[in-house]
Amino acid sequence: MQSMTDLDATNRRILRELRRNGRISNLDLADRVGLSPSACLRRVQDLERRGVIRGYGARLDPVLSGRGFVAYVAVGLSEHTKAAQLGFEAAMASADPVVECHNIAGAFEYLLRVETADLAAYKAFHTDILGTVPHVRSITSYMVMESSKDLRG
């Protein structure tokens, strides 16, 4: 897979515009990046074919979609075995409030992005789901107060 540094300036402009608006018409995209519509379409299709663009999605209103409460959760495991990691990852894969699960380096093994309707729903997730997963040693929650920048699609 290519990194952003392997892409030329035009492809990086295309990706920036698509990140801002994945539903932009090819005609408008071509105009914004300074290409003909046919050249722009060829580049977008090439980026899709190579897996640089993995898909398109909708940006949902977090409150109206029932996910207005966001917490980042650092999780430490009591065992540093492959089996413990796989068990934890499987549990998080089936936990609907967990929208991101990252194995990280540092003081904790995992960083989660958890989205729920409110604090009460987060507490239920924390107690009834996360708190019951084997090998979880520590849970540190960071509640999001406001997001001044969020480029996730």
- pLDDT tens string 67-104: 999 999 999 999 999 999 999 999 999 999 999 999 99
CATH topology of domain 4-49: Arc Repressor Mutant, subunit A (1.10.10)
- Residue 153 binned pLDDT confidence (cut-offs 50, 70, 90): low
- pLDDT tens string 2-23: 554 579 999 999 999 999 899 9
- pLDDT tens string 36-48: 999 999 999 999 9
With 90 as the cut, is the pLDDT of residue 151 above it? no
Q: State the pTM of this model.
A: 0.81
- As annotated, the residues of the chain forming the CATH 1.10.10.10 domain(s) are 4-49
C-alpha closest to that of 126 among 72, 82, 62, 57: 72
- As annotated, the residues of the chain forming the CATH 3.30.70.920 domain(s) are 69-143
CATH number of 69-143: 3.30.70.920
pLDDT at 61: 86
The mean pLDDT of the chain is 94
- pLDDT tens string 96-131: 999 999 999 999 999 999 999 999 999 999 999 999
pLDDT at 62: 86
Q: What are phi and psi of 98, to 5 degrees?
A: -85, 110
With 60 as the cut, is the pLDDT of residue 24 above it? yes
The better pLDDT of the pair 4, 32 is held by 32
pLDDT at 5: 52
Q: How many CB atoms lie within 10 A of CB 135?
A: 18
C-alpha closest to that of 141 among 153, 131, 133, 151: 131
Q: What are phi and psi of 14, to 5 degrees?
A: -60, -45
